Structure 1
Amino acid sequence: MKQVKFMVQKFGTTFRSIRESKGVSLNSLSDDVVSKSMISKFENSLSDLSTQRFFHLLEKINVTPYEFQMTMNNYELSGDSKTLNALTELAMSQNVISLQRYTRKLNQKYTDSQSIFDQLNWIMAEAMLANIQEKKLADNVDLKALTNYLFSCEDWGNYELILYGNTMSVLPLETINIFSGTLFEKCSIFQGNSSLYEMYLNILLNTIELLIKREKYSLATKFISSFERQNLSEAFLLERTFIRFYKGIIMLKTGDEETGHTLTEGALAVFDFAGCDAFTDSLKQLM
């Protein structure tokens, strides 16, 4: 209970600090969704707010949940960084038992803190586990918290991109189409950040592969066109080779076998020559 009370206090005091720095009064924030009294009690750690009301207030002071989290943690995402690194390492090594153990740990952390970000990290771990095991998502995982958070963020940063990229496989097709289709706009404020741009490209590639696996070839072609509009330089050889392979796969599946074989075999030859055995094996399975 002490940890939960601490999180409520930290959220409230952080919100008040941001509100006051922006010169926003309590009167201007109160409306039919949240009253002045509710906001005051939240800021003074006397009560908590629902996720809906909290996101509503962030929108009114023009702060994204990601920006709020960074402010709350003094611009250090060390805890989340450690979590993301640990999840990535376990997923890459296909260490199911350790990933299950770490997922339970994240679930307990969320149970203790009731923090939205602890909840999102746990959901992400469950999604990665389901993907590795090729199983359905656990019944106790509510994806609404995930989608509500991502929909509420007008701008996406590093955390949102990683969160979406690692949970995409368990989301409905309609949601994937919306998120991936607006990805460039959501990341537009980070133009010039090479690492985020590369992550954005990788998510587009993962979207295309997922759509091909679900036999949604016309939709996959739409995202290929979106990818090609980026006019990537030759420095993005890996990404350009993936696109040629995906185009070839779609042609093979839709009847243009001659061109399809040319594109897929050419792409595989590039990966073979570069010694990218894992990529080659993965793409052959997709064929």
Structure 2
Amino acid sequence: MPALGETFRALRKSKGLTLKEIADEQVSVAVISKFENGTSMLGVDRFLHLLDQIHVTTSEFFYWQTNRYAVSPMPLFGNSDHASPSWKLVLPMQKILELVNKADPPKGVQEVENYQKEFTKVFSDQPTQMNSLVMAIINSSVDLLHFRLNKTASDILPVTKYLTSVEQWGEFEIYLLIFSVSFLDASDLFRLFKRAMYRADWYKWLADDQHTRFNLCFDAFSALIGKQHYTEAAEVLKIMDNLVHDKDDSDVRFAVQNLFMHGWYDIVTGEKEKGKQQCENALSVYRILNVSGDEELLRLVYEHILKYDPSDVKHMFIILTMG
């Protein structure tokens, strides 16, 4: 088994981070270097702080530290916040998404644009890797709100390049992809989606949200439909089919969602009556099961699916953000 510092160094380098980039007032370059080289150890607080600096949770770290092909990873710190997704790492991204959800495009986007100006100054003063990713999501969000659907893919390139370059994906990379699905070029989205699902069998052990894989399928599917890439959307649907038929992951909620997605696909690809029947059957099952939140969300999606018009830019914006 490798030393802790050796595993830490491998994960840091896999994310393209230098010692200088992760060092701060709490942990210096010299201290991190000694830890990575195995000449000194760190206290728990500073160790957890360094994991935050490289966007890795404790569960993920010890998964790579142990014999990952034989051991099912477990949260080493019990129910502590650090064993779950490190939400403070993605908090800046959550803020822009919340602002986008409140906006009323194309006119009611002033608050989002103000945040864009504010963060541009932050990024200018602190051009860190994290700030570069957040800036890309903010710029792409503004593009989307102004219906500049073709520009989002160029503005999100820092995220695309980051996700492509990172060898060992963890929860941070998965959530970053989820936050970016509406902006990515369809071919990049499909390629990164397949990469994310490649390790689906161990994501289900690492993730605090056991249903991340299902949610990622739904988000990628809706974005690909919005981008009118139906062949890739059909491939995502096949992956979702496999997930819901896995006896170890069976969950009636996602089986019903899967039925709804099939109906959605049929509607937008020309089999409208067949698709409507499947969507309405799915909504009926949700109502019977009294899963009100899911039914309300999918009913809203269904209303927009019935109005599906690829020539209407504003409507396609709505479809793109359905995930």
TM-score tier by shorter-chain length is 0.5 to 0.7
Matched, 1:206 2:219: yes
Unaligned runs of 5+ in 1: 1-6, 26-64
What aligned pairs does 1:216-255 form with structure 2 within 5 A after superposition?
A: 216-230=229-243, 231=245, 236-255=251-270
**Structure 1 length as normaliser, TM-score?**
0.67
Tell me the TM-score normalized by structure 2. Answer: 0.60
Once the two structures are TM-superposed, the CA of residue 19 in structure 1 deviates from its matched residue by: 4.6
CA distance, structure 2, for counterparts of residue 252 and residue 138 of structure 1:
28
**Is the Cα–Cα contact under 8 Å of residues 128 and 166 in structure 1 kept in the other structure?**
no
Distance in 1 between residues matched to 2:213 and 2:141, nearest whole Å: 19
Tell me how far 1:171 sits from its aligned partner.
Answer: 1.4
Give, in angstroms, the shift of residue 87 of structure 1.
2.6
**1:201 partner SS:** helix
Could you give the per-residue CA deviations for residues 229-259 of structure 1, whole angstroms, max 9, x where no partner exists? 1236797444333321221132334454553
What code does the residue aligned with 1:107 have? T
Equivalent position SS for 2:148: coil
Q: Which residue of 1 is the match for residue 277 of structure 2?
A: 262
- RMSD of aligned Cα (Å): 3.7
Alignment correspondent of 2:93: 84
SS in 1 for 2:228: coil
247 and 187 in structure 1: CA distance in 2 versus 1, 3 angstrom threshold: closer
Structure-2 residue corresponding to 1:172: 185
SS at match of 2:37: coil
Assess, with a 3 A threshold, how the Cα gap between structure 1 residues 167 and 179 changes in structure 2: closer, same or farther: same
Alignment map for 1:113-192 (pairs within 5 Å) = 113-136=126-149, 142-186=155-199, 189-192=202-205
**Which shows bigger deviation, 254-263 or 210-219?**
254-263
Match among 51, 54, 61 for residue 68 of structure 1: 54
Flag the 1:252–1:77 CA change in 2: closer, same or farther, 3 A.
Answer: closer
Q: Which residue of 2 aligns with 1:284?
A: 303
Greater relative CO (CA pairs within 8 A, separation 6+): 2
1:217 deviates by: 2.4
Deviations 1:55-114 (A, max 9, x none): xxxxxxxxxx9872559xxx7967534323423432333363322222222221111011
Farther off after superposition, 221-230 or 15-24: 15-24
Deviations 1:248-280 (A, max 9, x none): 132334454553232122123345665443431
Instruction: Say whether residues 1:94 and 2:84 are aligned partners.
Output: no
Is the alpha carbon distance of 1:101 and 1:148 closer, same or farther for their aligned partners in structure 2, counting shifts above 3 Å? same
Q: Percent identity?
A: 15
Quick one: structure 1 residues 142 and 284, their matched pair in 2 at CA, closer, same or farther if it must change by over 3 Å? closer
* Cα distance in 1 for residues equivalent to 2:241 and 2:164: 26
- The answer to whether the Cα contact below 8 Å between 2:116 and 2:138 also exists between their aligned partners in 1 is yes
- Mapped to 1, the partners of 2:34 and 2:200 lie a distance apart of 27
- Considering fraction of residues, name the structure with more helix: 1
Distance 2:207 2:155 in 1: 33
Provide the rounded CA distance (Å) in 1 between the counterparts of 2:223 and 2:206. 26
Q: Which residue identity is paired with 2:172?
A: Y
| 1:247–1:263 contact (8 Å) kept in structure 2 | yes
**1:107 maps to which of 120, 125, 128:** 120
- Look up the equivalent residue of 1:23 and give its one-letter code: N
